[in-house]
Amino acid sequence: MRTLRRTWRLPSARIALAVLAVIALLAVAGGALAPHDPLGQHPQDMLRGPSAAHPLGTDYLGRDVLSRLLAGTGSSIAGALEAVGTAMLLGIVPGIASVWLGRTVEWTAQRAADTLMIMPFTIFAIAVVGALGNGLHQAMIALGVLFAPLYFRVTRAAALGLKQAPYVEAAELMGASRWWILRTHVWGKILPTVAVTTAQAVGQALLVVASLTFLGLGVQPPAPTWGGMLASDLGYLAQQPWAPLIPGVAIMITVGALNVLADAVRDSGAAAGDVRAAVSVPGSVPGSVPGSVPADSGVAGNSPDPVKSSDRDAGPGGQAHARPGAGTGTAPSEEVEQRVTTG
């Protein structure tokens, strides 16, 4: 919650969240907000420019571009979210399990992640769609499988650092169950890292979904999608050279907002970690630089010399020498005894 509050204070995060809120509204109610039927064909209005009736013009079949853009938002965003949800399920659980369930599970999960990481997204999705049928769910499951190693590595790295934390080791020595440790000490500290990864992964998944629909995979025409609109507009660049910019700008704005939000969450988490590190330094003062020493700690450089000038005697050559026992808490007799003992 501290990271979320810090994120909300950043202007860039608020702007990104506002943009994503608008896109989420269009994804849910885009079809209802469309001024025309996104599938309605009007041959007499083919390839018309922007007008009062059609603010973004019409396509090669006379369909309203604005209506198709609004209606296609839902399928494009839903596909990206489905892929990321599959990746989270297949990546987070094995990532944590590889740290806590022994070397056999660790080795098996790492080899599976390494194998999936070398597979190209598009070719693997085409193979899965060819085997299971051309549908949005099949393509997104294939995409989620390939995104799973990203969550696996991020979650495993965070869990490895937390497993060696002193409070986790203390809880294990006190007999706390593994599930209690994961729920109480581990998951809450992994969550900010998962949030950053999710924001970036949704943007990447949206680009891959647009690429697949551009190739005709996932959502079948004439159903509107951002990638499908790009593919259909490329055949009529001579008549409407600006047409591909409309779905392209929608993709760019959405992915950009997700990346800005991911950066804001990461920066907020780093700032919270710096504050916790400063508080955890022994003897640190709130508001001071981590690792600095208070002025009254008696350490050289931050306080006067423990041997006061009044306790010094001027020796030969004008050099000052501390009198035995002056300012040190050692009596003269103890000084003589030490000299005799040491020879």
Written in H, E and C, the secondary structure of the chain is CHHHHHHHHCHHHHHHHHHHHHHHHHHHHHHHHCCCCCCCCCHHHCCCCCCCCCCCCECCCCCEHHHHHHHHHHHHHHHHHHHHHHHHHHHHHHHHHHHHCCHHHHHHHHHHHHHHHCCCHHHHHHHHHHHHCCCHHHHHHHHHHHHHHHHHHHHHHHHHHHHCCHHHHHHHHCCCCHHHHHHHHHHHHHHHHHHHHHHHHHHHHHHHHHHHHHCCCCCCCCCCCHHHHHHHHHHHCCCCCCCCHHHHHHHHHHHHHHHHHHHHHHHHHHHHHHHHHHHHCCCCCCCCCCCCCCCCCCCECCECCCCCHHHEEECHHHCEEECCCCCCCCCHHHHHHHHHHHC
Question: Residue range 247-270: average pLDDT?
Answer: 89
| Other Cβ atoms within 10 Å of 87 Cβ, number | 25
236 and 243 Cβ atoms separated by less than 8 Å: yes
DSSP one-letter string for 190-246:
HHHHHHHHHHHHHHHHHHHHHHHHHTT-SSPTTS--HHHHHHHHGGGTTT-TTTTHH
Confidence of residue 251 (pLDDT cuts 50, 70, 90): very high
pLDDT at 334: 46
Residue 282 has pLDDT above 80, yes or no: no
* Ranges 30-34, 98-102, 125-129: which has the least confidence: 125-129
pLDDT at 305: 42
Confidence of residue 336 (pLDDT cuts 50, 70, 90): very low
Higher pLDDT, 232 or 18: 18
pLDDT at 125: 79
Residue 68 has pLDDT above 90, yes or no: yes
Phi and psi at 306, nearest 5°, equal -60, -25
pLDDT at 1: 60
Provide the angle, in degrees to the nearest 10, between the axes of the packed helices 136-163 and 187-214: 150
Confidence of residue 273 (pLDDT cuts 50, 70, 90): low
d(CA 166, CA 20): 39
pLDDT at 275: 42
pLDDT in tens, 114-158: 988 888 877 887 888 778 777 788 888 888 999 999 999 999 998
Kindly list the distances between the CA atom of residue 13 and the CA atoms of 4, 9, 10, 17, 142, in Å, as whole numbers in the listed order.
10, 8, 5, 6, 31
pLDDT at 298: 40
Question: Residue range 69-83: average pLDDT?
Answer: 92
* Ranges 11-20, 74-83, 91-100, 287-296: which has the least confidence: 287-296
d(CA 147, CA 206): 12
pLDDT at 271: 58
Report yes or no on whether pTM surpasses 0.75.
Answer: no
- Name the range with the highest mean pLDDT among 151-160, 177-186, 266-275: 151-160
d(CA 226, CA 222): 12
d(CA 71, CA 34): 7
- The torsion of the CA quartet 262, 268, 269, 274, rounded to 10 degrees, works out to 150
pLDDT at 126: 80
56 and 65 Cβ atoms separated by less than 8 Å: yes
Question: Residue range 68-82: average pLDDT?
Answer: 92
d(CA 191, CA 95): 13
pLDDT in tens, 283-334: 443 344 344 444 444 434 444 443 444 444 444 444 444 444 444 444 444 4
* Ranges 34-38, 156-160, 214-218, 280-284: which has the least confidence: 280-284
pLDDT in tens, 202-235: 999 998 888 888 887 877 778 889 988 988 888 8
Confidence of residue 77 (pLDDT cuts 50, 70, 90): very high
